[in-house]
Amino acid sequence: MSQLVPPHGGKGLVIRLLEGAEREAELKKAASLKKVEITAQEKGDAIMIGIGGFSPLEGFMTKADWKSVCENFTLADGTFWPVPVMLSCSKEDAAEIKAGQEVTLERNGEIYATMQVTDIFELTEDEKKWESEMVYKGAGEDSQGDFMKIALEDHPGVQMVMARKEFCLAGPIKVLSEGDYPTNPKYMGTYLRPAETRKIFDERGWKNVAALQLRNPMHRSHEHLCKIAIDVCDGVIIHSLIGNLKPGDIPAEVRLKCIDTLVKGYFVEEKVVQGGYPLDMRYAGPREALLHATFRQNYGVNKMIIGRDHAGVGDFYTLFEAQEIFDRIPYSTPEEKQKVGGKALLCEPLKIDWTFYCFKCDGMASMRTCPHTKEDRVILSGTKLRKALSEGAEVPDHFGREEVLTILRAYYEGLTEKVEIKMQKAASGADMK
């Protein structure tokens, strides 16, 4: 019997992906239904709903769910959920759809799902601004003053919210495609469904499993975080985002090659699982850290590694805001969790301080363990690494393993167009004492 943490929501893995004859029949029906074009983010969300990664969600959210998630961190029924999962459509499409009707969700000509529409509602510009402030606004410098003005220029998550079409559709979906994630060689076989990771963990006899969230190439700090987790847990899943990123981020196939090289050279491989999941980044900082923990619970993970500026962008969030939020969410105490059962988030944060290489310590260290000054330290961050490589600058000693840097240098040398990388304080080490 599995010793893993149960899926979120108390209903087991809620899987909406159809296969075999059932899928073929639904695809045939889908061809005759009203078509709704979805965004890249909505495609990733649909796939996660399909494979059980977003359990207990069966589809896209109603307005009541949207409002409750923004205000209370819960669905309308009280189940913990930190970030809205919405499906937008144009005013023209909304006028042609009635509640109870089935529609087909497609992107670039490929059918991804059918939806039983239960609710059609408008989200005004003011309501989208309200969502942006509730979900994406943090305590960092960029969130002070005129937040929306700054966010519309510099926050990709807020830009995605404001770019949504005028209306939203809610209702359960039947998922008919996982895109090319299961078959594309560039993902190196790392795309795994929650049922698959749970099977792997069970076969290895793991009970306590940690997850490292990755959207940047693995540097020495990531390696250190993983090894701390392995010391206190049965094993770790290095779980890479393989959906869309913002311009200037490094594509999945390059990041996965770096991870594979690092794991084979510097880890006990039996203690590590490499995985990929199909979402786009929202860059929601603390709220996204909660989302990462929520869906990792569905993958069988009970400890989410949360370090410095998790899922942040610019200077919208303070250094450890993504750790602190776990202490403020609904059902955060053992007593509350016991009372509400599966409605609570059971995946807990593994909070780790700012880590770096210290020349005087002669090794990896953290603010808790190193007594020296920032002049003795190599400040490690994915943004700082990307900026150095994109500008052809020298990468400081001990920043990353040479085998990994060789892969990254080759990638940057092959680029014909380069995106300017904005350096935030958290990445530069300006806030380090």
Query: How far is residue 339 from each of residues 1, 263, 331, 343, measured CA to CA in Å?
Result: 25, 41, 9, 9
Helical ranges in 301-349 per DSSP H = 321-324, 334-340
270: closest CA among 211, 230, 325, 311? 230
Query: Strand runs (DSSP E) across 102-258, as ranges?
Result: 102-107, 110-116, 119-122, 167-175, 209-214, 235-241
> Going by DSSP bridges, is the β-strand pair 355-358/348-351 parallel, antiparallel, or unpaired?
unpaired
The residue whose two tokens read 């996982």 is 178
Structure tokens at 342: 């599966």
Cis peptide leading into residue 56 (ω within 30°): yes
C-alpha 429/C-alpha 425 separation (Å) is 6
216 is catalytic: yes
CB atoms within 10 A of CB 387: 18
Structure tokens at 272: 């590590």
215 is catalytic: yes
C-alpha 17/C-alpha 15 separation (Å) is 6
139 in Cβ contact with 72 (< 8 Å): no
Three-state DSSP class for 56?
A: coil
C-alpha 81/C-alpha 72 separation (Å) is 9
The DSSP secondary-structure symbol of 17 reads: B
Beta-sheet strand order (sheet of 363-366): 363-366, 355-358, 377-379
What separation, in Å, do the N-terminal and C-terminal C-alpha atoms of the chain show? 49
Catalytic residue, from 16, 198, 215, 308: name it.
215
Burial class (CB in 10 A: 0-12, 13-18, 19+), 242: buried
The residue whose two tokens read 């965004």 is 39
130 in Cβ contact with 220 (< 8 Å): no
Helical ranges in 163-219 per DSSP H = 194-203
48: closest CA among 192, 246, 198, 170? 192
| Degrees, nearest 5: CA angle 8-47-93 | 115
Q: Which residues are catalytic?
A: 215-216
